Structure 1
Amino acid sequence: MAHPHGWVDYRITVMIDDDQRVTALKQSWKMDPFQSLTMIEGLESAEGQESMPERLDALGHEIAANLPTQHYLTHVYDGDQELVLGGIEDYTTQLHNDRVEFSFIVTLASPPPLSESLHWQVFDDSYFIEFLYDDQTEHPIELVNAPPQCRGEVIHADPDPAVVASVSVIDVTGDTPDGVGRLFSDTGVIKCHDP
């Protein structure tokens, strides 16, 4: 009954252009088995003659339309400064082993140079849904077009035990403090060693 009420396993691909600027984050969100089952049952019971792929496309359109109102659940920083996001491109919704997976690209409005000062978090501000890097994949963060000495790393969240205790008693109808989701969010970073 306590927060969170849904879980998403996710992967990030950092898109880097030929000028070594970070242009976008490609994300794949895999919904937890129960949430996926609920979504699939809803799609199967909907009226109409659409095929399941068509219904998944409609679900993806609905998710994509809602994300801008929630800052795409994505926060990218250069040092302490939060960067402005551009928008969503190339989203798809598919089933993988009975789990709904939503993939999309969120662009950066002004692509910054590739740097170790860049970092990002994916979270639901209300902590209704918890986002966790996909531990079933060897590389939950990949860099495309980066120098060979650079790689992505995950810094796992380490929230204060008192915060964990206070959030664990909030039920499905309860309100969470603003910004609590960030306290439980892992951070993606870029690390580059000397060649």
Structure 2
Amino acid sequence: MWLGTTSAMAHPHGWIDYRVTVMVDDQQRVTALEQSWKMDPFQSLTMVEGLEGVTGGESMAQRLDALGHEIAANLATQHYLTHVYDGEQELALGHIEDYTTRLNDNRVEFSFIVTLAEPQPLSDALHWQVYDGTYFIEFLYDDQTEQPIELVNAPSQCHGEVVHADPDPAVVAGVSAIDVTGDAPDGIGKLFSDTGVIKCQKP
């Protein structure tokens, strides 16, 4: 698993609280999504204990930087767990940049920017989901922040909203019964993923 191991329990095995900042250029095009992922307390403790156990004279900040490099490399092979759509069409992503890893209230927080392969016009058709396809890790918009979705450089009449997932109860029951030794169907995480959307009121 790209974030390390956790103890046995039903799916999901951990969670990430996250925020998204939509980056808009001067031509009112969306160019990238800046994301901050805050690992759950147990996963964070596991990571920190692993870093503390590494031999060498590096500081914790340096070890967190190395961890961030490893996470970024792994995410590059998994589409950054980020899926951006224009209507029904999924858009190609560019690359990850400006990533950092730090401790935030004893929780590991990984922040990064993932670009779009081509800038997209700012519109209500643009939306995105962030999820682990196996649902090993659950992604939740951070309810401890007033604005889990922000738009930078966008017109004042535009804002971001979260559309919460509403999976079939039978699917929820089936997935929750899968223990750590079982494999959830690939792509099941999408069914549990909230959707970030852009809403622009007409002037």
Scaled by the length of structure 2, the TM-score of the pair is: 0.95
What does residue 80 of structure 2 align with? 72
Q: Matched residues in 2 for 1:127 and 1:96: separation?
A: 24
What does residue 183 of structure 2 align with? 175
Q: Matched residues in 1 for 2:66 and 2:40: separation?
A: 20
Among 13, 23, 28, the alignment partner of 1:20 is: 28
Output the amino acid matched with 1:41: E
Q: Matched residues in 1 for 2:120 and 2:156: separation?
A: 19
Please tell me whether residue 48 in structure 1 is matched to residue 48 in structure 2. no
Between the aligned residues of both structures, percent identity stands at 81
Output the amino acid matched with 1:190: I
Unmatched runs of 5 consecutive residues or more in structure 1: none
1:166 match: secondary structure: helix
Among 6, 10, 15, the alignment partner of 1:7 is: 15
1:86 match: secondary structure: strand
Q: Which of structure 1's runs of 4+ aligned residues deviate more than 4 A?
A: none
Q: Deviations over 1:23-63 (max 9, x none)?
A: 00000000000100010011011111100000000000000
Q: Matched residues in 2 for 1:86 and 1:171: separation?
A: 35
- Say how many residue pairs are matched: 195
Provide the alpha-carbon RMSD of the alignment.
0.5
Scaled by the length of structure 1, the TM-score of the pair is: 0.99
**How big is the shift at 1:178?**
2.0
Among 30, 36, 47, the alignment partner of 1:39 is: 47
Q: Matched residues in 1 for 2:118 and 2:36: separation?
A: 23
Q: Matched residues in 2 for 1:46 and 1:133: separation?
A: 32
Output the amino acid matched with 2:118: S
Q: Deviations over 1:127-153 (max 9, x none)?
A: 000000000000000000100000000
Unmatched runs of 5 consecutive residues or more in structure 2: 1-8
Q: Matched residues in 1 for 2:123 and 2:181: separation?
A: 41
